[in-house]
Every structure is written in C-alpha cells, then in structure tokens.
A and B are shown apart, each in its own frame.
Chain A
Amino acid sequence: MLKIIVPIKQVVDLSHIKFDDDGVGTIENTTGGEINPFDLNALEVAVQIKDKLGATINVISMGEQGADSILKDAIARGATEAFLLEDSAFKDSDTLATSYTIASTIRKMGDFDLIVCGEKSVDGDTGQVGPEIAEHLGIPHVAYVSKIEEIGEKLVLVSDMDGEQHTVECSFPILLTVTKNINTPRLPSLRDKLNSRKAKVEIWHSDDLISEANINRFGNAGSPTFVDKITLPSEGGRKGKTFKGSDLETVKELTNELEKDEILKGFSTK
C-alpha cells in the first residue's frame, strides 16, 4: 500500500481580511481558517490514488490549536491520519524553517512513497515549501504537475514548464507540486464530516522532532528572512476617466482618450 503525505496550510479567506492604510490586516466575520484552496487539489490527488490503488494519507499542518479543525476537514475529505505541529518554537517560520520542520516530521514518520503539495498558498503566495521539503529529504521533485497519466511501479506525469508541457517518468519516492487545474476537489459528505469531528489529531511539539532535527533551525532562529514592513500597493496614478452611456458616441469619447493617451498603439489585430 502506498504511503502518501500531504502537507496542508491553514489560511483565512481573503474576503475576511481587511487591510488598513498601513497594510495591517484584521480578520473579520469568520470563525476560523480553512484549508488553503490549492492544498485541496493536492489532497484530492492523494484521495484519488487511495481510491484506485489503496494508500494511507498522512496530512501535516503547522500552526496553532485552531489548525486541528482543518486537519479534521482533511480527514473528512479522505485523509487517514492527521498530524499537527504545534509549538511556540515554530513561530515566525519562513519558508526555509517551515520546510525544514515539515521534512523533519516526515523523516520521523518513517517510510513514504509520495508527497503531494499544492502549487502555493493564497496568503504567502510563495509556492516554495514543496521543493524545499524535497531538497531537505534528498528526493527528486516534479513541480507544476497538471496531470497524472499513469501510476503504478512508475509514475508518468505532465508538468507545466513555461509554455511547454513535459510528460515525465519517475519513480518513488518523489514529491509533486500540483496545479489547480489537475482536478476539482470533492466536497466531503455530511456523514464523513460528522465522523471526522471525532477523529484523532496527533499533536507533535519541537521535542518530538529532536531525533530528526536541529532545533535551532526551527521558527524564528531558523528563518533567514523577515518582513521589515508591509505596505498597500499604491493605486495612485490611476487616471480615473469615467464616461456614462453605451451608445457609439460615448464609446467614441473613450476611444478618443485611449488614442490620445497612446493606449491604442499597443493593440495589434491578430
């Protein structure tokens, strides 16, 4: 039976975050986080493999107590075991520290065949943790996988590569980052949702990883990067020329402006 690992991240839906003029975000009108939408595609890949070939799926998330709700959600969606990495020592981790901590966790779990990661997170937007985990573990990775053509002894995958699609063959163990186009994640059934409430979430602290890791590489201490400041992108410089009406005359007024401002110059009929 294949052993699959899916790291997932808790995020807050962007529509619930209000940013003030200094770029400080406040979370409003929500009871908690949700699974990063891109990670749902990764989980769906794992669940489809489980349905077809049989597999165990361990989901891992790093975060505070609230994160156990997203892990239970992952169980409702088909994961078999859930692990929460919770410790003040993990706070302020950048992508290097995060990937190191998750890689150490995966080592501690023992053998695995496949790690599936989402393309990126909607809050950090980095998409870097996946391949970093692969490097820490010394295994190959294939990024931007948009299709799994074959899975058995070998894997045949389609990877999106800067305007080309590469069909590649590889074997286990391997880490994949999958695109949002690879599948449409299923919704959990009501029964699975109810059952998942009772599911056990294993909680690991930094001490639990001591055998696999150098604890100085966790959290703030293990993070070379830090955010110095946050600003709102300036909307300044927008011309804000508005016209009212759908008739040809109004459209002419608009195109006159576009012509005058040299916008039309950039158009080329193909």
Chain B
Amino acid sequence: MTNNKNIIIIAEQQNSKIKSISYELLSKGKDIAEKTGADLFAVLLGEQLDNEANELIYYGADKVFLYQHSSFRDFDPQNFKLNIVNLVQEQKPDLLLLGASHLGRSLAPRLAAALQAGLSADCVGIEVDDEGNIIQIRPAFSGSVLAYVKTKTKPVIATLRYKSTQSRKRDTSRKGEVITREAETIPSLITILRKQKSGDINLTEADIIVSGGRGFKKADDLSILAELAKTCGGVIGASRPLVDDGWIGKEHQVGFSGNTVKPKVYIACGISGSSQHLAGMRRSDIIIAINTDPSAPIFKIADYGIVGDLYEIVPNLISEIKGRIL
C-alpha cells in the first residue's frame, strides 16, 4: 500500500546507542499518525547503527532512513541539516518532530529557516483537530500560559519536551524497513576537541527535585536539604534568592530565569512560591510544600502541604522516609 502522508521524527543517538527521547517522539508521532492515517518515519544519523536502527521499528517506525558517516558520530548542525532538508523535500512530511533537547533545539531552527517552515519549540503536547490540522501546545511566559499554535504551511516543525509522552512498548515482532541513504557531507566548520560528562546536575530531566528557598537561614543549613535529596534519590533545586546570595550555583535555580522543570515529585522546602518560581515548577506531577506561612502561594498548587518549621520537618521527614523505603 502506498501512502503519501507521512510524519518524520528525528531520532537521537549517543555513542551509537539510540537515546530514549527518540522513542517518546515515535510514540507521539504514532498518536498523530493513527489519527491522520500517515506513515511514521524515523531519521537516524550516526555511525555503526545497523542493528540499533531496528529498535526504531520495534518502537513504532514504519521506515527508518539511516545515514551513516564517521563525521556523524557527534552532532554537526550544518551537516545534519543538509541531509534532513534533502529528505524532507523528497518525502514532504506533514510533521517533522524533534526532541526539545540541546541537539533538537539547535537543529530544528536551522531546518525551519532552510525550509522556510514554521517551528514551535518546546511543545508539551501535539494534537490533531477535526479538520486534521496539527496543533502544537507549548508553554509561554515561562509556563504561565499554554499557547495553542497552528501552522499555515507544511511541514509543521516542532520540538517536544522530554517526558511529554510515554514511549510505547518495545515490540520485536513489528515489521518495518531500514533504508540506508548515502550521507552527503560538507567540511565541518566546527571541530570537537574534547568531550566530557557534564559535571552539572540536570534539573530538567530529574524525576525528583528537592528545592530550598528563603526559609533557610544560612548556606550551611542546606546540608539537610542535600540529605533529604539523597534520601529520596533526587537532585537539589533552589529558588532565586539562594542563588543570588551565592549559597548555591545557578545550575540549581528553578524558575523564571532559571530552569523549567517537570519532575515526578517536587519538594519545596521554605519556598513561598513567587510567580517567578512557580513558573519554573508548576508542571511537576506531584508537589509537596513545606512552609511556615499557611498563606504562602506554594500551597495553592501543592498536592501535599505541611505548615511548620522546615528545620524540624525535614529531619523528621528524612527519618520517616528512610524507615519506610528501606
């Protein structure tokens, strides 16, 4: 059966292993493909990926376009763009979907400008309306509002945030086609000299975040926050005043001018909940708030609130959690 309608997702790999965001993109792509009757294609660029490419089929791709080249081991914006633009011009997808990763957010705008296409960055949802139009749902004003964006032209290009959707079950009985394409390359103008694991904590991908705010009286006291984070298997976040006072690094900052996070559990300790802070964490699945002031705005968006002194509550909470999860 031939089908002109298609959706293309840009898969990501690191060290020749496919990254999990790729499977989330396939899952979202499949949701839309099922509604519009489109085929779902994946593009994979890298090297030594012959076996890995099949994984994309197991997770929902009907076809995988595989571009292998030694210079594609690492992301190169202009070379990746060149090959994807050619494929898009040939396949004419309705939707081109990338992850809202550093890679996706660096590559998608180049594709959009090259194709003169509309781009919606950092979507939290993508839907199809009754007429078959693709609607991109994205936060704006640091998450204070959700904008529903439509696009007048094809393809629609969007980047999708991590964990906006769940990947489907791996199904090794799924059949699909891996199509190897000749990689086109231009000399890269950017040379990678060194790579290292980032020492930075990655708040945006954390499942559990334990955050501190002005309720802490001095920098040393953050040790109990660290202890709680360790107990929960979480990472440490902070509201802006603690960062401004130099108590903790900027990479820990949650909010307006810091990180926007969506963990499974967010524990706010001594954070009253300024609009700047709420903007960065209100999409957390579960919010637990600890604050002395019962009228603090944080309680309005909390699932669990405890009104009291964090200096007593946090140590009690640590021992309670330890007692229950060990």
Chain A residues within CB distance 8 Å of chain B: 14-15, 17, 19, 23, 25, 37-38, 94-96, 99-100, 122-136, 140-144, 156, 160-171, 174, 180-181, 217, 223-233, 235, 238-248, 250-252, 254-255, 257-259, 263-264, 266-270
Is B102 engaged at the interface, CB distance under 8 Å to the other chain?
yes
Is B217 engaged at the interface, CB distance under 8 Å to the other chain?
no
Measured between C-beta atoms, what is the minimum distance from A116 to chain B in Å? Answer: 15
Within B269-326, the residues touching A (CB, 8 Å) are 274-276, 279, 282-283, 286-288, 294, 299-309, 311-313, 316-317, 319-322, 324-326
Is B148 engaged at the interface, CB distance under 8 Å to the other chain?
yes
Interface size (B, Cβ < 8 Å)? 107
A166 near B194 with CB under 8 A, answer: yes
B118 near A267 with CB under 8 A, answer: no
- B202 cross-chain contacts in A, Cβ below 8 A: 163
Measured between C-beta atoms, what is the minimum distance from A18 to chain B in Å? Answer: 9
Measured between C-beta atoms, what is the minimum distance from A214 to chain B in Å? Answer: 10
Mask: chain B, 204-237; 1 = CB below 8 Å from A; 0 = not: 0101100000000000000000000011111000
With known contacts A125-B142, A235-B282, A99–B109 Cβ distance under 8 A: yes
State the CA gap A195–B117 with chains docked (Å). 43
Top 8 nearest A-B pairs (CB, nearest first) are: A224-B118, A246-B308, A135-B113, A246-B312, A225-B118, A131-B109, A143-B106, A251-B316
With known contacts A126-B122, A127-B121, A128-B121, A160–B198 Cβ distance under 8 A: yes
A266 near B265 with CB under 8 A, answer: yes
Smallest CB-CB separation from B136: which chain A residue? A225
A96 near B304 with CB under 8 A, answer: no
- A23 cross-chain contacts in B, Cβ below 8 A: 145-146
Is B38 engaged at the interface, CB distance under 8 Å to the other chain?
no
A250 near B308 with CB under 8 A, answer: yes
**Which label, helix, strand, loop or mixed, suits the secondary structure of the A interface?**
mixed
Measured between C-beta atoms, what is the minimum distance from B282 to chain A in Å? Answer: 6
Smallest CB-CB separation from B188: which chain A residue? A140
- B305 cross-chain contacts in A, Cβ below 8 A: 240-243
State the CA gap A228–B140 with chains docked (Å). 13
B119 near A96 with CB under 8 A, answer: yes
12 contacts between A and B (CB under 8 A): A15-B275, A124-B140, A125-B142, A131-B110, A135-B113, A168-B193, A180-B257, A243-B307, A248-B316, A255-B320, A257-B304, A267-B265
